[in-house]
Amino acid sequence: MGMEQKRIKLPEIKRQNKLPIVLNKQEVRDLLKAPKYLKHRLMLGLMYGCGLRSYELCNLLQSDIDFERKTVFVKKKKGSRDRYLPLSAHLIRGLKRYLETEHPITYLFNSQVTKQGEPLPITVRAIQWVIKENRSKVATQKKFTAHTLRHSYATHLLEAGLNIISLKELLGHAHIETTMVYLHVANTGSSKKFSPLDTLFSR
């Protein structure tokens, strides 16, 4: 007599979101110094220094930069909110020199112009190209993209003591849950992670 095979059904485990890749500060320094041209260094510098998404960098106008207030204005898109971001003194110096020598039109970073002579902004593909051209100049085995600079921005701010609510506003996240992923990455505060080997031989 054949018996009906019974299978044990295990409860489904909810899949954990993939944690972002984060560059350490030395890797960021190496990447920002790698490009030959000032324009490309500033593009990467703004993505890390302001935590910009690629399309946000592409859409930046010269009028969005306020050197006196040291801010960058980022316009909302797809449900996100308008936000002002702090602009580093390092970027201010570089941007002033870039504007004086390159004379971009309307947008902060120009690509080409239309047949009618209207200025066009750089594209996401152009940003990807800059990353690809300079990735090999960074001493790391990490496979990083342009968005890795945004992840690194968020993680480094948390590790420097910024609270999660302020970080949410800087990143332009609609929901705090999106921002909280960086709590699993940052090594900070009372939850600072360490290896037991570091205490095993201490006296």
151 is catalytic: no
- 15 has catalytic annotation: no
Active-site annotation holder among 70, 83, 135, 147? 147
Judge whether 150 counts as a catalytic residue.
yes
Q: Terminal CA-to-CA distance of the chain, rounded, Å?
A: 69
Is 173 a residue of the active site? yes
Selecting among 39, 40, 41, 53, the annotated active-site residue is 53
Q: Residue 94 region, left (φ>0) first, then alpha (ψ -120 to 50), else beta?
A: alpha
From the list 15, 36, 78, 193, the catalytic residue is: 78
CA distances from 97 to 28, 31, 103, 114 (A): 22, 20, 10, 26
Using CA atoms, how far residue 34 sits from 39, 90, 93, 102, in Å, is 12, 16, 18, 20
Catalytic residue among 39, 40, 41, 150: 150
Return the exposure string of 138-157: e unless at least 16 CB atoms fall within 10 Å of the residue's CB, then b.
beeeeebebbbbbbbbbbbb
Question: Residue 166: enclosing H or E segment and its boundaries?
Answer: helix 164-171
Q: How far is CA 126 from the centre of its chain?
A: 16
182 is catalytic: yes
107 is catalytic: no
The residues carrying an active-site annotation are: 53, 78, 147, 150, 173, 182
